[in-house]
Amino acid sequence: MHTSNPSGEALEEPPASLFTNRLRDFLPAGRGFWHDVPDEDWNDWHWQLKHRITTVDQLRRLMPTLTPEEYAGAKLANHKLALAITPYFFNLIDAADEHCPIRWQVIPRVQETHTAAWEMADPCGEDAHSPVPGLVHRYPDRVLFLVTDRCASYCRYCTRSRLVSNASGYDFHPEFDRQIDYIERHPGVRDVLLSGGDPLLFSDEKLEVLLGRLRAIPHVEFLRIGTRIPVFLPQRVTPALCAMLRKYHPLFLSIHSNHPRELTVEVRDALGRLADAGIPLGNQSVLLRHVNDDPEVMKVHVQKLLRCRVKPYYLYQCDLISGSAHLRSSVRQGLRVMEQLRGYTTGYAVPQYVIDAPGGGGKIPVNPDYVLSRNSDRVVVRNYEGRVFEYPEAKDGTPLVKEPIPIEEPELV
Ligand code: SF4
């Protein structure tokens, strides 16, 4: 297929491989081992939670192809970050494929016990920015409100693994009254992000009480929920939940999906229900080795997200969480992935690649270098194909009214 660039030259679109073509389709997760479970149970989120795979014995029974690394990791998991996988999400694992990208995300490995000197239990320095337990106030106008330490399934690279699942004894007990009181006393806080753990694990009633209390604070303009529930447990996204959430607009929701195979028919439909409730949806992915640090896979993923009405929002460089080296990709590879998105697909599909600064500096954007040089009278930039362009500017920053002086300094370009 041919397209053209702004100057009219024909561009050859790289051929999509058979592999990525297959990833484009929305497929149902299927029932797998649970083929005889009635629909009524399977589609009930409480049933899914009750039947999660949480022990090494269950895992070995359902997946005899467990590798020695996985078996050893699963045996140790409950001392660090619990093992839990919903039956729905478990069905996305290809048990015959040791390199299955879903498998890498939720099956523990013994490498989780290997810790390097630069790895940390709290890589983003959240505890140091908590004025009251469960509230992180790092940026001037917004706070992170941690509501629970539970998730539907546990991601092996979780940046809050010190806290979620309580496997390492962090003993997280948010005190909503103290957290809300802090927000009330800080009129500069206009944006509250509910996260955890996963806020959508609360009942509709409990979540509504919390949203109602936050909405009643006059200076809180904007609410957000960070959740992986639509991906791990799409059954939770009921019409009743969506009807409740829509009462608290403006309310945004950030999901967390890393690989196109996670975007099943069930997930697409759950996201559709949320979008129909008027909730703007964004996605946060973590760049992970063995999962999504491949430009072709990432491109399919972001395009598929748009088809689910989800804007790819952030791509995170994996935090320096203890025991995550086997899953961390390099910044070099992250930039390579970004380089293959910008210009090659819809701008809406391109997330912002960020490093959450180790120790608590916040999110820092990382981009391929498109600005080649900049001085007082021009900026020299390159486009996604590597072609170089010049943008003239007046020295004092006022609008340019005279023709710019031609470049004389050869070092400028
Ligand atoms: S869903 Fe989020 S909080 Fe829970 S384990 Fe995964 S990354 Fe951590």
Distances (CA, A) of 406 to 275, 278, 359, 377, 391: 51, 51, 46, 10, 12
Q: Is the CB of 197 under 6 A from ligand 1?
A: yes
What pLDDT shows up at residue 377? 85
| Cα 146 to averaged position of ligand 1 atoms, centre (Å) | 12
What pLDDT shows up at residue 15? 57
Does 404 have pLDDT greater than 80?
A: no
What pLDDT shows up at residue 1? 39
What pLDDT shows up at residue 295? 97
Angle at 105 between CA 104 and CA 111, to 5 degrees: 60
Return the active site residues: 138-139, 142, 151, 155, 158, 160, 319, 356, 363
Query: Strand 2-4 vs strand 191-195: parallel, antiparallel, or unpaired?
Result: unpaired
Least confident segment among 18-22, 90-94, 137-141, 250-254: 18-22
Q: Is the CB of 198 under 6 A from ligand 1?
A: yes
What pLDDT shows up at residue 5? 45
Q: Is the CB of 154 under 6 A from ligand 1?
A: yes
Terminus-to-terminus CA distance in the chain, angstroms?
34
Q: Is the CB of 156 under 6 A from ligand 1?
A: no
Taking only the tens place, the pLDDT of each residue in 354-403 is: 999 998 889 999 999 999 998 888 899 999 999 999 999 888 888 888 77
Virtual torsion, Cα 259, 260, 265, 269, nearest 10 deg: 70
What pLDDT shows up at residue 16? 60
Does 17 have pLDDT greater than 90?
A: no
| Cα 40 to averaged position of ligand 1 atoms, centre (Å) | 27
| Cα 197 to averaged position of ligand 1 atoms, centre (Å) | 6
Looking at per-residue pLDDT, the higher value among 409 and 159 belongs to 159
Give the single-character DSSP code of 228. Answer: -
Taking only the tens place, the pLDDT of each residue in 113-127 is: 999 889 988 998 888
Q: Is the peptide bond before 250 cis (omega within 30 degrees of 0)?
A: yes
Taking only the tens place, the pLDDT of each residue in 127-166 is: 889 999 999 999 999 999 999 999 999 999 999 999 888 8
Alpha helices in 261-307, H assignment, sequence order? 265-276, 295-307
Distances (CA, A) of 163 to 1, 37, 91: 50, 33, 27
Asked if residues 282 and 254 have their Cβ atoms less than 8 Å apart, the reply is yes
Pocket test for ligand 1, best of 147, 158, 321 (most atoms within 8 A of CB): 158
Pocket test for ligand 1, best of 198, 262, 286, 287 (most atoms within 8 A of CB): 198
The answer to whether the pTM exceeds 0.85 is yes
What pLDDT shows up at residue 360? 87
* Widest distance between CA atoms in the chain: 77
Quote the CA–CA distance of 57 and 300 in Å, as a whole number: 35
What pLDDT shows up at residue 405? 67
| Cα 181 to averaged position of ligand 1 atoms, centre (Å) | 26
Q: Is the CB of 89 under 6 A from ligand 1?
A: no
Ligand 1 atom nearest to 154, measured from its CA = 5
Residue nearest ligand 1's atom 3 by CA = 197
> CB atoms < 10 A from the CB of 282, how many?
17
| Cα 347 to averaged position of ligand 1 atoms, centre (Å) | 27
What pLDDT shows up at residue 399? 81
Pocket test for ligand 1, best of 83, 155, 322 (most atoms within 8 A of CB): 155
Residues 209-235, mean pLDDT to the nearest whole number: 98
pLDDT band at 167 (very low <50, low <70, confident <90, very high): confident
Q: Is the CB of 151 under 6 A from ligand 1?
A: yes
pLDDT band at 112 (very low <50, low <70, confident <90, very high): very high
Q: Is the CB of 155 under 6 A from ligand 1?
A: yes
Q: Is the CB of 123 under 6 A from ligand 1?
A: no
| Cα 258 to averaged position of ligand 1 atoms, centre (Å) | 12
Residues 197-203, mean pLDDT to the nearest whole number: 97
Taking only the tens place, the pLDDT of each residue in 294-329 is: 999 999 999 999 999 999 999 999 999 999 999 999
Does 225 have pLDDT greater than 80?
A: yes
In whole numbers, what is the pLDDT of the chain averaged over residues?
A: 92
| Cα 5 to averaged position of ligand 1 atoms, centre (Å) | 41
